[in-house]
A and B are shown apart, each in its own frame.
Chain A
Amino acid sequence: MSTPRATALNAADLVKTYPGGRGAPPVRALDGLTVQAASGSVLALLGRNGAGKSATVKILTTLARPDSGHASVAGIDVLRDPDRARHFIGLIAQKSSSDPLATGRENLVLAGCIQGLSRADAQVRARELLDRFDLGDAADRLVRTYSGGMARKLDVAIGLVHRPQVLFLDEPTTGLDPEARAQLWAEIGRLSKVEHTTVLLTTHYLEEADQLADRVAIIDAGRVVVDGTPDELKRDLRGDSVQVDLAAASQAALPALRRVTGLRDIAADGARLRARADSGAHAVPAVLAALDAAGVAVASVTIARPSLDDVYLRHVGRAFHDQTEEAAA
């Protein structure tokens, strides 16, 4: 249908503001966001809550309109021709989009019919998807009796019922147990590799982006701060990350670390210190000695190869996990 590396998804200079309400200034959710995905690839948008991930998905799926900018999906301008674009996109929203008072099969058949499949075709497709997502046994039970993981799998199946060329998954694995998450990851990988579906997923999980995505775009304050393949992003960070957890937060810790030669990107966050070094193994004795000399008690030291968390820290200025934990609290 389309040439293998054609651009299946293109957002350029998207700006979106929301009214602040009650005299508050407008909120700029997207501030010139630009991102692209090649046909058949998986693009992950990574960022904390409110960074602009969902706003981007809403614009690309024709739900919201930007104040300015361009957006196209499967070669169709979604702002000029949303009706046409809707035939080629699948949306798996953050919240469950199945009907709890219908069975899994009824949900799928109805979704298929709405997407333009004949009733017979929709039934064939529903059976196919129920088997593929291991929901065969639960097919004729009401969705309200499903577990969270089953309901999520059904959501994904509903999004796939019309074989969309571009699939949008908004935080697909939030709240899933590890087994359900692994199953969904395998399915997303298969979609891209076997069915050549272009996938855009937003996620809170660095591990998820690392595992699944061909390209990762880190979003902060409505802009893409950096994007590339996970390996490219990590390669940009030379050396290892060194993380020191102190027994208790200490004012003396940061100045002590600054005196250690070979340490870069030193940052403190409560009782946790982070830094980078060409060789973590060589840096650790010096780090411990410096902290000991300053009278700071250390609880643990971790050395790691660069992770997406480090990439995030470098480009956004704060560690990803700490922010998401804050957001969840």
Chain B
Amino acid sequence: MTTTASPATFPTPRNIGKGKPARFLVHSGYVTVRSVRSLLRQPTFAVMTLIQPIIWLLLFGQLFRNVIHIPGFTTASGNYLEFITPGVVVMTALFSSGWAGTIYIQDMERGVMDRLLASPVSRGAMIVGTVAYQSITTIAQTVVIFVIAYASGARFPGAAAGIPITFLAACLISVVIASFSDAVALLLRQQEALIGISQAIILPLQFLSSAIMDTRVAPAWVRDVARFNPVDWAATASRAALSAHTDWGVVWPRLGLLLALSVVLGWLATRAFGNYQRSL
């Protein structure tokens, strides 16, 4: 049919539709690679992504150093830096992932979104690609936070299991928030609206949790709200896992809830493509 001799295999009615699960993973990989490559091509942004959690760790670590002396504040070691390290990990994941949807908005403003949606890439793979990219960012940021925390003298008796669990909890929060951000981007299709909604939700999620403050010293209603806050689940589970005598009854249910919530939000974000396409 074509005149150019090429050994390539092009789509024909016979060779399409094979190996669907494998194709899903491969496509997710391509979408992830694209985002990571874009990040590395913007060195200032990439460096700031890693510097910001350091600022938070050191700034909050100094600013609120004396909160541990408030009666009722419970820490295993009496060291605030050790208390907020998992909190800053979760907070960093939360703030970075809130921006996930901006990639979609940029793609919509260009013709990239339309091209991808008219190609064989599945909607699920597009969501998995963006949340995987956010998780990679979160892992890099978490590494930096632990390095700085150790360098500043923090020690975590439960580190052997606690550090992997902190990474897991942070990644799950990334998936939850990035999926939410993607869904908002697809539903509202506007950068300003996405920023507004993200900020309206992220700050309360952050402060109505035990990320930087023990909720036991907060008003009772804050404690009640925190029980339903995924950011609190992640911070509490990580902190418990890093402590000397880990109460696994605190860790596993919260990780389970985070996992369930990531699946639900990932699915909802995938459904939001339908809403976007109805607007076309």
Contacts and interface: CB of A to CB of B under 8 A. Distances in A.
Interface of A: 1, 58, 61-65, 83-84, 86-89, 91, 93-102, 106, 110-111, 113-118, 121-122, 124-125, 128, 142, 155, 158-159, 162-163, 194-196
Contact of A63 (B6, B37, B114, B121): B114
Contact of A101 (B38, B109, B121): B38
B153 interface: no
Interface in B102-140: 109-112, 114-121
A297 B30 CA distance: 67
12 contacts: A61-B118, A63-B280, A87-B11, A91-B114, A93-B115, A101-B42, A102-B38, A114-B120, A114-B121, A117-B10, A125-B6, A162-B11
A87 B118 contact: no
A121 B9 CA distance: 7
Interface residues of B, number: 39
Contacts of A124: 6-8
A176 to B, nearest CB: 15
B34 interface: yes
Interface of B: 1-4, 6-12, 15-17, 23, 26-27, 30, 33-34, 37-38, 41-42, 109-112, 114-121, 277-278, 280
B9 A117 contact: yes
Contacts, number: 115
A115 B10 CA distance: 9
A1 B41 contact: no
B278 to A, nearest CB: 8
A98 B118 CA distance: 14
Given A97-B111, A113-B26, A159-B115, 14 more contacts: A58-B114, A63-B117, A64-B278, A65-B277, A88-B11, A95-B114, A111-B115, A114-B120, A117-B8, A121-B6, A124-B7, A162-B10, A163-B2, A195-B3
B70 to A, nearest CB: 47
Contacts of B8: 117-118, 121-122, 124-125
Contacts of B118: 61-63, 86, 89, 91
A63 B10 contact: no
A121 B7 contact: yes
Contacts of A91: 114-115, 118
A128 B6 contact: yes
A89 B11 CA distance: 10
Given A87-B16, A101-B37, A114-B121, A194 B3 contact: yes
A196 B111 CA distance: 26
B12 A1 contact: yes
B119 A115 contact: yes
B69 to A, nearest CB: 49
A84 B34 contact: no
B9 A84 contact: no
A67 to B, nearest CB: 11
A184 B38 CA distance: 29
B120 A83 contact: yes
Contacts of B15: 116
Contacts of A110: 30, 33-34
A97 B116 CA distance: 9
A93 B115 CA distance: 7
B11 A142 contact: no
A289 B194 CA distance: 66
A99 B120 contact: no
A111 to B, nearest CB: 8
Contacts of A117: 8-10
A61 B115 CA distance: 9
Contacts of B33: 110
Nearest to B112: A97
Contacts of A159: 115
B119 A86 contact: yes
Nearest to A64: B280
A245 B38 CA distance: 54
Nearest to B125: A114
B105 to A, nearest CB: 13
B114 A97 contact: yes
Contacts of B42: 101
A115 B38 contact: no
Contacts of B7: 121, 124
A71 to B, nearest CB: 13
Contacts of A97: 110-112, 114-115
Given A102-B34, A121-B7, A95 B111 contact: yes
Please give me the 6 A-B residue pairs with the lowest Cβ-Cβ distance, nearest first. Answer: A93-B111, A97-B111, A121-B8, A95-B111, A87-B11, A97-B115
**Best-surrounded residue of A101, A111, A116, A158 (most CB of chain B within 10 A):** A116
A96 B107 CA distance: 10
B25 to A, nearest CB: 13
B46 to A, nearest CB: 12
B41 A142 contact: yes
Scoring B26, B114, B118 by chain A CB atoms within 10 A of each residue's CB, the highest score goes to B118
B30 A113 contact: yes
A94 B38 contact: no
B156 to A, nearest CB: 38
A95 B110 contact: yes
A63 B118 CA distance: 6
A86 B208 CA distance: 46
Nearest to B11: A87
Contacts of A118: 8-9
B280 A58 contact: yes
Nearest to B18: A116
A273 B277 CA distance: 44
